[in-house]
Structure 1
């Protein structure tokens, strides 16, 4: 009987609330989308660099590495592209854009996984800068290639030309890279830390004895 009375007395004692705050790291959706756009851009640009169909003119199809000539309707002869300075320049810039884009993806992914808030911001800023640098390299290559190619076919009195699918794929990859950089830019300074409030209740005896919450 006395034990039961003691339990009732303990339950009737006022509980002392103690408020604590927990720091929670939140990954923002825009940053995840930015990394996904970067991965898609890397795949598209890689496909564009490897393919031949950049520009087509008068039964001739040329890319960064090969020059193909349609001998018959179902027969094509391909050989190494004629060495010209502007072709070498486009190759170098496209390859640099590809590797810089890959570096941006890696750095941004590290930022997503990092639990250090100060380092996360630095990773995002670095990834954003690398994305914009990759865009610059790719855009310059995509502008130089058709301009110089058209100058050559005009010199050979060939006026008919058209853009190939590989060239269009390069522009698609550039757009995704630009979108990735913009998403990192507009979202890089947003707070990724939230503070969760937690209330614990202690009775007076537990506070005196230094016990944890019940």
Structure 2
């Protein structure tokens, strides 16, 4: 019997896309820490996050913004820029979760067309998530600084006589999430999808039987 040729489809898992998937998981962890932290801005025993502000026992008095002295953590003030930053941070977390799911499905899929669609969706959603967290990270300190400046201009009655403010680790974690999101987007964009699947041709010899 004459030899026959067969074509095999070989699927390769690209390491850059695996790293992009891991970046998405890391972003979820970092965003959970950032959302739960009250250490975005702090000064003299008082600190403020997205969802709460906390007062230490030995905090300097008076507290900023005419807040009553209550040691512990309370719900964040209902100021517009805090609410907007909360919403954007939550959107970033949800979008990143969806993008990471799409990247994971792309890694698992054996169908070429589905694989490309999953990766494309992951890239677009990650870009929107990145834009969301970047806006939140810019809006929060800028609007806070404007709020303080306005109070200082009025004789600093609401600033609690605080002149030194610092960014806390919660705010830094937010920037860490943005960096990993940016890395995930770049990895998904730079890795060529066409290299994930190639076709290998081989010849099979059949022995004749008596």
What is the TM-score of this pair, normalised by structure 2? Answer: 0.84
2:108 to 101, 113, 116: 113
Equivalent residues in 2 for 1:63-78 (5 A)? 63-72=49-58, 76-78=71-73
Taking the aligned partners of 2:141 and 2:111, their CA distance within structure 1 comes to: 46
The reply to whether residue 48 of structure 1 matches residue 34 of structure 2 is yes
C-alpha distance after superposition, 1:146-182 (max 9, x if no partner): 1122223332443311110010001001110111111
Corresponding residue for 1:148?
143
Aligned residue pair count: 191
Counterpart secondary structure, 1:71: coil
3-state DSSP of counterpart to 2:200 = strand
Q: For residue 18 of structure 1, report the CA deviation from its aligned partner.
A: 2.7
What is the SS of the residue equivalent to 2:110?
Answer: coil
Q: Report which of the two structures shows the higher radius of gyration computed on alpha carbons.
A: 1
- Aligned-partner SS, 1:95: helix
Match of 1:172 in 2: 176
Shift of 1:46: 1.2
Query: What stretches of structure 1 of length at least 5 have no aligned partner?
Result: 1-14, 210-214
Map Cα deviations across residues 96-145 of structure 1 (whole Å, 9 max, x no partner). 00000000011111111111101111110100110010010001011111
Q: Secondary structure at the match of 1:61?
A: strand
Instruction: Kindly report which structure 2 residues correspond to 1:200-211, keeping only aligned pairs within 5 A, or say none.
Output: 200-203=204-207, 205=208
Question: Residue 51 of structure 1 contacts residue 63 of structure 1 at CA under 8 Å; is this kept in 2?
Answer: yes
Q: Runs of 4+ in structure 1 displaced over 3 angstroms?
A: none
Compute the displacement of 1:76 (Å): 4.4
- Answer 1 or 2: which has greater strand percent: 1
Quote the residue 2:15 is aligned against. Answer: 29
- The answer for the alignment partner of 1:162 in structure 2 is 166
Distance 2:19 2:135 in 1: 26
| SS of equivalent to 2:53 | strand
The answer to whether the 8 A contact 2:89-2:133 is kept is yes
* 1:182 match: 186
Aligned to 1:193: 197
Where in structure 2 are there 5+ consecutive unaligned residues? 60-69, 157-161
Aligned CA RMSD, in angstroms, stands at 2.0
TM-score, length of structure 1 as denominator length? 0.82
CA distance in 1, matches of 2:74, 2:113: 52
SS at match of 2:22: helix
